[in-house]
């Protein structure tokens, strides 16, 4: 705990005073522009990755950046999304997977989490992505299959996201856009799913082709 306590004290002493006005404004409410759904992995730090200030990014984190489809047990995920869309009125939802995802390794090899019943039940929400990868990646190495699964899982969760009533309504009204990203920990690079082109594109390529406002599902 020593490191955390020292960090908290340093924040109070050195960081907070520099942003006192921002925190004063945030003390009475929030108005984030984006909902960022990503993995609980400690190496994934959304505000750092996309360089946002406190109050700008509403974040939902869980093992494997999973969004159970409407009607399935979803814990707080559906509630977080509904609140972001209906109350906070975010305009964009990003589902962001990442490289070397332990949850996706568990999806690929469910037998390895057989003694972790809660984990096994949760990662089963990504079984659709697993089925696609097993069918289309025959002959691939373990690492290649995990990489394919990370991408395929983001696409599967985007489809699940569309089944949530609040999201479906906002998408139909043109009041919401959804996006799929994958973050590479080693390089710091992002891949973005292009709904228009039907493929993954490096972020720089995506911006060059589509602009920096993204494309809607």
Tens of pLDDT along 192-209? 999 999 999 999 999 999
Identify the residue whose tokens are 């594109």: 201
Q: Quick check: 71 pLDDT over 90?
A: no
**Maximum Cα–Cα distance for the chain, whole Å?**
57
What pairing do the DSSP bridges indicate for beta strands 199-202 and 190-194?
Answer: antiparallel
Catalytic choice (60, 96, 101, 105):
101
- pLDDT for residue 160 is more than 80: yes
Q: Supply the pLDDT for residue 217.
A: 56
Dump pLDDT digits (tens) for 131-157: 999 999 888 999 999 999 999 999 999
Active site residue 96: no
Q: What is the pTM of this model?
A: 0.94
What confidence category does residue 72 fall into, taking pLDDT thresholds of 50, 70 and 90?
confident
Q: What crossing angle do the helices spanning 142-163 and 127-136 adopt, rounded to 10°?
A: 140
Give the mean pLDDT of the chain: 95
Question: Tell me, what's the pLDDT at 212?
Answer: 79
Calculate what percentage of the chain has a pLDDT beyond 70: 98
Judge whether 60 counts as a catalytic residue.
Answer: no
Closest C-alpha among 102, 101, 64, 62 to residue 78: 62
pLDDT band with cut points at 50, 70 and 90 for residue 123: very high
Residue tagged active-site, from 21, 33, 61, 98: 98
Residue 73 has pLDDT above 80, yes or no: no
- Catalytic option among 39, 60, 96, 130: 39
pLDDT digits (tens, 9 = 90+) for 6-59: 999 999 999 999 999 999 999 999 999 999 999 999 999 999 999 999 999 999
Superfamily designation of domain 31-210:
Carbonic anhydrase (3.40.1050.10)
Domain boundaries, the chain: 31-210
Instruction: For residue 110, give both structure tokens.
Output: 């469910």
pLDDT at res. 214? 59
Let me know: does 22 contact 31? Beta carbons within 8 Å.
Answer: no
User: Is 41 in the active site?
Assistant: yes
From the candidates 41, 60, 179, 191, which is the catalytic residue? 41
pLDDT score at 215 = 56
């Amino acid at each position: 705990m020593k490191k955390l306590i020292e960090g908290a004290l340093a924040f109070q002493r050195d960081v907070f005073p520099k942003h006192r006005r921002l925190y004063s404004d945030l003390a009475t409410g929030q108005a984030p522009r984006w909902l960022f759904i990503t993995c609980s992995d400690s190496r994934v730090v959304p505000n750092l990755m996309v360089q946002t200030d406190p109050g700008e990014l509403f974040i939902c984190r869980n093992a494997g950046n999973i969004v159970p489809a409407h009607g399935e047990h979803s814990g707080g995920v559906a509630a977080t999304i509904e609140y972001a869309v209906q109350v906070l009125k975010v305009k964009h939802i990003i589902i962001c997977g990442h490289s070397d995802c332990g949850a996706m390794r568990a999806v690929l090899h469910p037998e390895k989490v057989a003694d972790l019943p809660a984990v096994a039940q949760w990662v089963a929400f990504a079984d659709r992505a697993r089925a696609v990868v097993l069918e289309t990646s025959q002959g691939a190495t373990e690492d290649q299959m995990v990489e394919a699964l990370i991408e395929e899982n983001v696409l599967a969760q985007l489809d699940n996201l569309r089944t949530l009533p609040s999201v479906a309504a906002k998408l139909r009204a043109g009041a919401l856009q959804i996006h799929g990203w994958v973050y590479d920990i080693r390089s710091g690079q992002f891949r973005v799913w292009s709904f228009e082109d039907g493929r993954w594109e490096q972020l720089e390529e995506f911006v060059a082709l589509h602009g920096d406002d993204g494309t809607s599902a």
